[in-house]
Chains A and B, each alone.
Chain A
């Protein structure tokens, strides 16, 4: 696998405070790499160092094969950045904003109009081409900002909290776009504090807390590493009697809540067969049954000690 981003002991200190604390990681070409952590964890500071917006206090990194300390202009040619805020020019039209971006990134003159047309089509912005950026809705602004980051066809796209503050439809279409970029072999470095977003989109996830990377792996492996025991969630036709519960406890640890029973099991298929047998014997109907495997949220809480509620609160706070 070709490494397109490699960071070694990357560190950023602001006024004596370590925002990023000696982080090291590698990102492969064509993968979606999720950088997950609560606000202030060091996600944005890491991106800012990788794209040349701030210098590392210590350590280094190479992006697209170029050293961020010595060859930052070469790095900038090859990356597109979608910042957290939609910071294009309010007074310019959508077309003029994209044209300006294409010019700044040295897109050949003969290709500019063609590429902008394509992007407007991809992002359903054709009818807004002459609308001033400042007059667009939040969701449309986000689309234009992403289009501006792609106009020079970068090898790597850095997206800093791309769905933050977006409505459900816009967020969904943006997630679809990330999938399309991956299909085109574009590397996507995505920071987010939405656990489910990192889970759905990323090939690999790095969890960062207080400037330190806690773990890096695929979402599946991170989940597996936390707890290998699946849980079977059963809704019974009526509350089980004590004798039935005792039988269920032979299958696994039982947690009861009225008609709902949760059992931690070793092996799912065998456990379901046992459950059906016990229920039939006891004259109870199984109205619903589901297997709950550990999710990334649990893994995140387990690994970081940060309550998932903190992330949810941040999410709500940002949406309001």
Chain B
């Protein structure tokens, strides 16, 4: 039974990657987006890019995970293709997990390109590669779950895009991508600590620079896990409600 559910997750992931994510325009966008981002920041401040790299990787993860996934889910819902999945003998949790993994894999491609650019061109060194990989994977899954929550909350593709931006842009400016959270006014800090990207940027920064102890990193990971579970549960509830 569990194996059937896991296989269902895997097949939905494969189908989504083939049908939507790994299309030539998306792959080229996935390569160009981090390249342009890195180029823009390196022209402005060539010396500071290594410091900015964790934020840029997180930013690539934000756009990589949420941009396509919200479209995929709302599009499938609109065409009735999502309903096909509901007809299959697998649980709705597995369907949702497959969808979230699709967004996470696409996000991994974009943030992976950003990481490689940072390492090759800007000589960034990752001090704790294993913890970095765990933090990035958790970031991708959490942000992808956020993308799925947005997608299941709306009916139209354009609504998904608009609603995504309500989360994406505040996260980019408030969560330590460009400006350290500690230097922001207190009310903004309070908002920042309610957003998952704050903990992602912190975890990525610390694993790349090796500037923290394990307990702080564990706290970031623990909070990210909390966000992941909460977002998954809410997405599942909304998805389930849509077939009541």
A-B pair number, CB within 8 angstroms: 60
Q: How far is the CB of B22 from chain A (nearest CB, A)?
A: 10
Are A89 and B244 in contact, CB atoms less than 8 angstroms apart? no
Chain A residue contacts of B90, Cβ below 8 A: 73, 104
A:42-56 near B, CB below 8 Å? 51-55
Most chain A CB within 10 A, of B15, B18, B243, is at B15
Are A87 and B89 in contact, CB atoms less than 8 angstroms apart? no
Question: Is A146 part of the contact surface with B, judged by Cβ < 8 Å?
Answer: no
Question: Is B44 part of the contact surface with A, judged by Cβ < 8 Å?
Answer: no
Give Cα A85 to B84, complex, Å: 11
Chain A, residues 62-82, CB within 8 Å of chain B (1/0): the string is 000000000001101100010
Are B85 and A104 in contact, CB atoms less than 8 angstroms apart? yes
Chain A, residues 103-118, CB within 8 Å of chain B (1/0): the string is 1111000000000000
From A55, A87, A103, give the contact of B81 (CB < 8 A). Answer: A87
Are B80 and A73 in contact, CB atoms less than 8 angstroms apart? no
Give Cα A58 to B4, complex, Å: 31
Chain A residue contacts of B4, Cβ below 8 A: 106
Chain A, residues 90-132, CB within 8 Å of chain B (1/0): the string is 1110001000100111100000000000000000000000000
Most chain A CB within 10 A, of B19, B79, B80, B90, is at B19
B:88-125 near A, CB below 8 Å? 88-91
Residue of A nearest to B87 (CB): A81
Chain B, residues 11-25, CB within 8 Å of chain A (1/0): the string is 110010011100100
Are A77 and B89 in contact, CB atoms less than 8 angstroms apart? yes
Chain B residue contacts of A294, Cβ below 8 A: none
Most chain A CB within 10 A, of B8, B89, B90, is at B89
A:206-260 near B, CB below 8 Å? none
Chain B residue contacts of A91, Cβ below 8 A: 18-20, 23
Question: Is B237 part of the contact surface with A, judged by Cβ < 8 Å?
Answer: no
Are B80 and A83 in contact, CB atoms less than 8 angstroms apart? yes
Chain A residue contacts of B222, Cβ below 8 A: none
Are B19 and A92 in contact, CB atoms less than 8 angstroms apart? yes
Known: A88-B81, A91-B20, A92-B19. A53 touches B91 (CB 8 A): no
Chain B residue contacts of A55, Cβ below 8 A: 244
Are A104 and B83 in contact, CB atoms less than 8 angstroms apart? no
Chain A residue contacts of B173, Cβ below 8 A: none
Residue of A nearest to B3 (CB): A106
Question: Is B193 part of the contact surface with A, judged by Cβ < 8 Å?
Answer: no
Chain B residue contacts of A81, Cβ below 8 A: 87
Question: Is B7 part of the contact surface with A, judged by Cβ < 8 Å?
Answer: yes
Chain A residue contacts of B23, Cβ below 8 A: 91
Are B8 and A104 in contact, CB atoms less than 8 angstroms apart? yes
Most chain B CB within 10 A, of A91, A96, A100, A105, is at A100
Give Cα A92 to B23, complex, Å: 11
Chain B residue contacts of A92, Cβ below 8 A: 15, 18-19
Are B88 and A104 in contact, CB atoms less than 8 angstroms apart? yes
30 residue pairs A–B, Cβ–Cβ below 8 Å = A53-B243, A73-B89, A73-B90, A76-B87, A76-B88, A83-B80, A85-B79, A85-B80, A87-B79, A87-B80, A87-B81, A87-B84, A88-B84, A89-B81, A90-B79, A91-B18, A91-B19, A91-B20, A92-B18, A96-B15, A96-B18, A100-B11, A103-B7, A103-B11, A104-B8, A104-B12, A104-B85, A104-B88, A105-B88, A106-B89
State the 5 A-B residue pairs at the shortest beta-carbon distance, nearest first. A87-B80, A76-B89, A104-B88, A91-B19, A103-B11
With A85-B79, A85-B80, A105-B89 given, name 15 new contacts (CB 8 A).
A52-B86, A53-B83, A54-B243, A73-B90, A81-B87, A83-B83, A83-B84, A91-B19, A91-B20, A96-B15, A96-B18, A103-B11, A104-B8, A104-B90, A105-B88
